[in-house]
Amino acid sequence: MKVIVTLLLCSSAFLFTSCSKDEVALQQSAQTILNVSYGADPLQGMDIYLPPNRHIDSTKVLIMIHGGGWSAGDKADFTQYVDTMKRRQPHYAVVNINYRLAAAGVNLFPTQENDVKAAIDFIYSKRAEYHISDKFVLLGASAGGHLALLHGYKYTLPVRIKAVVDFFGPTDMADMYYNPASIFAPPASIAALMGGTPADIPAIYQQSSPINFVSAQSPPTIILQGGADQLVSPSQSSSLNNALQAAGVPHQYVLYPAENHGWIGANLVDSFDKIQAFLAANVQ
């Protein structure tokens, strides 16, 4: 593990133990810790960005999950967005995670789902050391959006996620197979990830689809989708929007009609404006 700034732990285990001046100063300064391992595989790692003046009761945590079709991509893909979120949400800790990738019959789903859970378990266990709260927000794009939604809706332990930011994440894996967005999203790629077709392994598809876990207790969710997306059909996001509406979950659906699978420029600025406002309204 490469550590850019070494953490000093201020113990609060005993009522009569107090922090040294150096430990207090550490909590008041920003820290960056790169390539922290949460598992034995080299891809089970994360980068951690801790803000200054953080507090275990109030410092919120934004966990970022990259895309890449569950078989490619890296946390480095989100580097510039880490900087954006640090600037826009200066009181948040930001954690940018990697996870094991599916390839050639190895690391099939739900490997990626399990890694996201393991990463979140690890971060939760380090709250006292990092001096961060249990107010966790998930942000993901494409496959990362799917993983963020799935974890946020499916798991409540060790922590209930406070909000999910979803950039064009798949929500119904069987529908991804049967109704691909275009020739650029072949059903065979979904079957290769899952280890079979929906007819072969229906339970895996059911358990891997965030839309199947929407309930009135689901975390507030903002969905950002391109109307011309050729990899994830806009119907995936609109179906989730309808399910959240029916369940009474606070949510926002933002559609950019002319955008494909990702965007830049004014619409990206607008996306981050909307994310910032959504988190301010829904994560206390």
**According to DSSP H, which parts of the chain are helical?**
21-28, 79-88, 111-125, 127-130, 143-154, 173-178, 187-194, 202-207, 234-247, 265-282
| 10 assigned to some structural domain | no
| 160 assigned to some structural domain | yes
| 51 assigned to some structural domain | yes
| pLDDT confidence of residue 213 | 98
| 42 assigned to some structural domain | yes
| pLDDT confidence of residue 172 | 98
| 128 assigned to some structural domain | yes
| 13 assigned to some structural domain | no
Judge residue 136's burial from the number of C-beta atoms within 10 Å of its C-beta, 0-12 exposed, 13-18 middle, 19 or more buried. buried
Instruction: Identify the domain containing residue 36 by its residue range.
Output: 21-282
Structure tokens at 243: 């399910």
In the block, tokens 């179906």 appear at: 239
Q: What is the DSSP letter of 212?
A: G
State the Cα–Cα distance between residues 66 and 197, nearest whole angstrom: 25
CATH, residue 209 = 3.40.50.1820
State the Cα–Cα distance between residues 10 and 129, nearest whole angstrom: 7
| pLDDT confidence of residue 28 | 80
> Three-class SS of residue 135?
coil
Residue count of the chain: 284
Give strand pairing partners of 63: 95, 138
Structure tokens at 106: 């190895």
Tell me the pTM: 0.91
In the block, tokens 């895309």 appear at: 67
| 150 assigned to some structural domain | yes
pLDDT in tens, the chain (284 residues): 433 333 333 433 333 334 555 555 566 899 999 999 999 999 999 999 999 999 999 999 999 999 999 999 999 999 999 999 999 999 999 999 999 999 989 999 999 999 999 999 999 999 999 999 999 999 999 999 999 999 999 999 999 999 999 999 999 999 999 999 999 999 999 999 999 999 999 999 999 999 999 999 999 999 999 999 999 999 999 999 999 999 999 999 999 999 999 999 999 999 999 999 999 999 98
| pLDDT confidence of residue 18 | 46
Structure tokens at 62: 């934004």
Contacts of 63 (CB under 8 A, 6+ apart): 95, 97, 119, 120, 123, 136, 137, 138, 139, 148
| pLDDT confidence of residue 180 | 96
| 200 assigned to some structural domain | yes
Domains in the chain, number: 1
